[in-house]
A and B are shown apart, each in its own frame.
Chain A
Amino acid sequence: GAGVSQSPSNKVTEKGKDVELRCDPISGHTALYWYRQSLGQGLEFLIYFQGNSAPDKSGLPSDRFSAERTGGSVSTLTIQRTQQEDSAVYLCASSFGTGGEKLFFGSGTQLSVL
């Protein structure tokens, strides 16, 4: 597609359930980022992938959060045993590299944990 695609756009889940969020970056973009935006807050870095290098997971808030990127393209962010404080918009972005290129963002996944 022409832009970064995220699915689902909305996800409502019950506390304790696992969720998977998907990001399909722009074709050819080697860098992929996940950010979290809580209501009225800024963007909190979660993780990034760059080519075949080991991902930087330093922003993941707990071991309930994990992410993978298969074949250097699609990425999945998994949250296990969801908690109410996980409710937020999860944003994915991609870029040609990590040398200061601009990020292209998806529309995000609104996660609501009841």
Chain B
Amino acid sequence: AQKVTQAQTEISVVEKEDVTLDCVYETRDTTYYLFWYKQPPSGELVFLIRRNSFDEQNEISGRYSWNFQKSTSSFNFTITASQVVDSAVYFCALISPTSGTYKYIFGTGTRLKVLA
């Protein structure tokens, strides 16, 4: 079975603090893809990053960074020096196309509140 767990329901931080959003996934497949999406108050989900299972390199994009560790089945997302505009719900997602199913499995999301 495939599953994505985002144990943090809601996180509140003060502006300029660093914050890490956790994502733990389950799949039996060796080929899979992981994603993070941001859903701001406006409602439309925005793609942030996509990683495949063969690439464990960490990635940094501006204030955002992602730590992919197959040993712990985790794909965590860190925002450095958070800003009020980072306030949103963040979703982690998984797809294993070689399993024969093409569903994207989403976690329940983490609501991030960045206070000024």
Contacts and interface: CB of A to CB of B under 8 A. Distances in A.
Nearest to B105: A45
8 contacts: A35-B106, A41-B108, A42-B108, A100-B52, A100-B97, A103-B45, A105-B46, A108-B44
A45 B43 contact: no
Nearest to A59: B103
Interface string A69-91: 00000000000000000000101
Given A42-B106, A42-B107, A45-B104, A102 B47 contact: yes
Interface of B: 32-33, 35, 37, 42-47, 50, 52, 91, 93, 95, 97, 101-109
Contacts of A45: 103-106
Given A42-B91, A100-B33, A105 B108 contact: no
Nearest to B49: A102
Contacts of B107: 42
B70 to A, nearest CB: 16
B43 A107 contact: yes
Contact of B91 (A33, A43, A59): A43
B32 to A, nearest CB: 8
A99 B97 contact: yes
A25 interface: no
Contacts of A42: 91, 106-109
A58 B37 CA distance: 24
Contacts of A106: 44
Interface in A3-45: 31, 33, 35, 41-43, 45
B91 A56 contact: no
Most chain B beta carbons < 10 A, residue from A43, A48, A59, A91: A43
A112 interface: no
B50 A100 contact: yes
